[in-house]
């Protein structure tokens, strides 16, 4: 016997895809999200629906998951996008590429996507956070590239997936070194101070280490500026 979905389980949305007319569909909230994505992909004759996911088209453009789908409202505009896993894999490959321009663009995109919990989980599971830590520890990144790297690191850590206690001493020293420089790019200084603040607030053991590496006189100098 076919059971019709309750009206309260149905949300009416528009779904966009670049170069195609938007689909106006009714999402049955009792139906698995993977099935909804498959139907959307079929509407545009796209194969490999497991490689896609839905995101909000406006605001932070967060990925929609089984845990967050209850927040979808009638009239929402959604966007079909590559899945968090696929996006994380592609960005990680681009960050590890040899082309500086490609790496910078990847880090810029990563800094924005890292605020998304679904993406952050996939990226961290692929050892992406460890890759960022190595980039910082190498001391070879400067300017915009370093600023985006630090932004992405902070966003990823803010999800609470990885403990701050696992941060290496060499990483702390490098971040403190940026703060201790008399002349440092303001964007790098702000992000470095934010990282040190999070270390102090989230780990008792790191409090002493940060205190050792960051002279109060240097912090006062920054406050005066």
pLDDT tens digits for range 175-199: 989 988 877 788 999 999 999 999 9
> Tell me, what DSSP letter sits at residue 63?
B
Ramachandran region, residue 6 (left: φ > 0; alpha: ψ -120 to 50; beta: rest)? beta
Measured over the CA atoms of residue 158, residue 123, residue 82 and residue 111, the dihedral's sign is positive
Q: Which helix (H) or strand (E) holds 80?
A: strand 77-82
Q: Break the chain into its structural domains and give their ranges.
A: 7-82, 86-224
Class of domain 86-224 as given by CATH:
mainly alpha
Do 25 and 15 form a contact (C-beta atoms < 8 A)?
Answer: yes
Instruction: Indicate the pTM of the whole model.
Output: 0.88
CATH number for 7-82: choose from 3.40.50.450, 3.90.230.10, 3.10.20.90, 3.40.50.620.
3.10.20.90
Do 30 and 9 form a contact (C-beta atoms < 8 A)?
Answer: yes
Do 97 and 103 form a contact (C-beta atoms < 8 A)?
Answer: yes
What sections of 166-203 are H helices per DSSP? Answer: 169-180, 186-202
pLDDT of residue 146: 95
Which residues, in sequence order, are bridge partners of residue 80? Answer: 54
Residues 129-179: pLDDT tens digits? 999 999 999 887 788 999 999 999 999 999 999 999 999 989 999 998 998
Mean pLDDT rounded to a whole number for the chain: 90
């Amino acid at each position: 016997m076919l059971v019709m979905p309750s009206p309260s389980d149905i949300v009416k949305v528009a779904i966009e895809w670049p170069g195609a007319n938007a689909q106006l569909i009714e999402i049955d909230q009792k139906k698995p999200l993977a099935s909804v994505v498959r139907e959307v992909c079929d509407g545009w004759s796209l194969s490999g629906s497991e490689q896609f996911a839905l995101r909000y088209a406006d605001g932070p453009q967060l990925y929609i998951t089984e845990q967050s789908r209850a927040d979808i409202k009638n009239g929402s505009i959604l966007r079909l996008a590559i899945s968090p896993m696929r996006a994380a894999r592609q960005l990680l490959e681009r960050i590890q590429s040899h082309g500086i321009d490609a790496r910078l663009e990847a880090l810029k995109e990563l800094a924005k996507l890292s605020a998304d919990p679904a993406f952050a989980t996939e990226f961290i599971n692929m050892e992406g956070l460890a890759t960022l830590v190595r980039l910082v520890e190498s001391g070879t990144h400067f300017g915009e590239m370093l600023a985006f790297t630090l932004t992405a690191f902070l966003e990823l850590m803010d999800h609470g997936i990885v403990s701050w206690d696992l941060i290496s001493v060499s990483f702390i020293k490098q971040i403190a070194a940026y703060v201790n420089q008399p002349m440092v790019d303001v964007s790098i200084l702000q992000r470095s101070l934010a990282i040190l603040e999070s270390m102090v607030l989230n780990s008792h053991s790191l409090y002493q280490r940060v205190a050792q590496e960051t002279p109060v006189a240097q912090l006062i100098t920054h406050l005066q500026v």
